[in-house]
Amino acid sequence: MAIGSLFDPIKLVSESIPRELLIKFAKNTGRDEFDFHALPDFGCECYLQNVLYNPHLTPYEVKLAVFFYEDLIDGGKIYTTSFSDVFMPALRYGGLFQVGKDFYDGIACGNLESFNSDVIYSEDGYYPSLPKYTELMGMKLTAQRLLNLVRRLHDFGYITVTDITINNTYRKKSKNNEKAVRARLRHIRLCKGMQNKDITGRWLPKKSSKKL
C-alpha cells in the first residue's frame, strides 16, 4: 500500500499547531501562545505585508515567502525537495486516480478530521522541484539550507509544511516505523491566519548586534 494512495492518504499538518518563531518574535495573544483566531479578521490579503514588516526574516526568507505566496495563492501543492535528477515520485508514492475516462498519477491528502481527501496530481510522474525554483531565483542553496529556510517559514506561520512520509498518514503506527524518515516530498500551503490577519504591528524589534 503506497503512501499517499487512496487507501493511505497523507494526513496534513494542522494550521493551529504552535509556531515557535512566531511566539518568540511577535507579541503573543496569550501566555506563551499566538492564536490567530484571537485577532480581528481584516478580510483582505495581509500576507505580503506580514512578510515585509517582519524584521527577523533574512533576504532569502523574504524571497522564498513571496514565491510561496505567488505559487500557492490558489491552494496547496506538493514539491520535491530532492536534488536528485533521477528521483521519480510516481514510482514510490500515491497511485492512479480516475478522472472521467482517464487515469492520472497523484497523491491523496486528507485532514485531521476526515479520510475525505483531495488529490494533487503529478505532471508525468513528477512534482515541482523546489531546488530548481530557488536556483532560478538566484539562490545558491544546499539541500539542508533549503530545508532550513522552509522550516523557518513554517515556524513563523507563513506556510504549513507536511512531510510526505509514513509518519503523516492515517496508518496505525508500529514501533518499527516511528523512527525518523527522510522526506523527499513535502506538501506546502499558505497559512490562512497570515493571509487574513494583520500582524505588522506585533513584531518585536530586532536587537542590534553589539559592536566590539
Tell me what percent of the residues of the chain surpass a pLDDT of 70. 89
Kindly indicate the confidence band of residue 155, based on its pLDDT and cuts at 50, 70 and 90: very high
| Model pLDDT for residues 134-148, shown as the tens digit of each residue | 999 999 999 899 999
Tell whether the model's pLDDT for residue 2 goes beyond 90: no
pLDDT at 176: 57
Determine the 3-state secondary structure of 137 from DSSP.
coil
Mean pLDDT of 22-36: 88
Question: C-alpha grid cell for residue 62?
Answer: 523574504
Tell whether the model's pLDDT for residue 56 goes beyond 90: yes
Mean pLDDT of 67-77: 95
| Owning domain of residue 138 | 10-34+42-172+179-196
Tell whether the model's pLDDT for residue 93 goes beyond 80: yes
110: left (phi over 0), alpha (psi -120 to 50) or beta: beta
Q: Are residues 49 and 200 in contact, defined by beta-carbon separation less than 8 angstroms?
A: yes
Residue 206 maps to a domain: no
Residue 210 maps to a domain: no
Residue 21 maps to a domain: yes
pLDDT at 173: 63
Tell whether the model's pLDDT for residue 115 goes beyond 50: no
Residue 94 maps to a domain: yes
Nearest to residue 82, comparing CAs of 42, 119, 132, 46? 132
Residue 89 maps to a domain: yes
Count up the domains in the chain and report the number.
1
Residue 1 maps to a domain: no
The predicted model scores a pTM of: 0.89
Residue 203 maps to a domain: no
Residue 183 maps to a domain: yes
Residue with cell 506538493: 78
pLDDT at 212: 44
Least reliable range by pLDDT among 60-74, 95-109, 165-179: 165-179
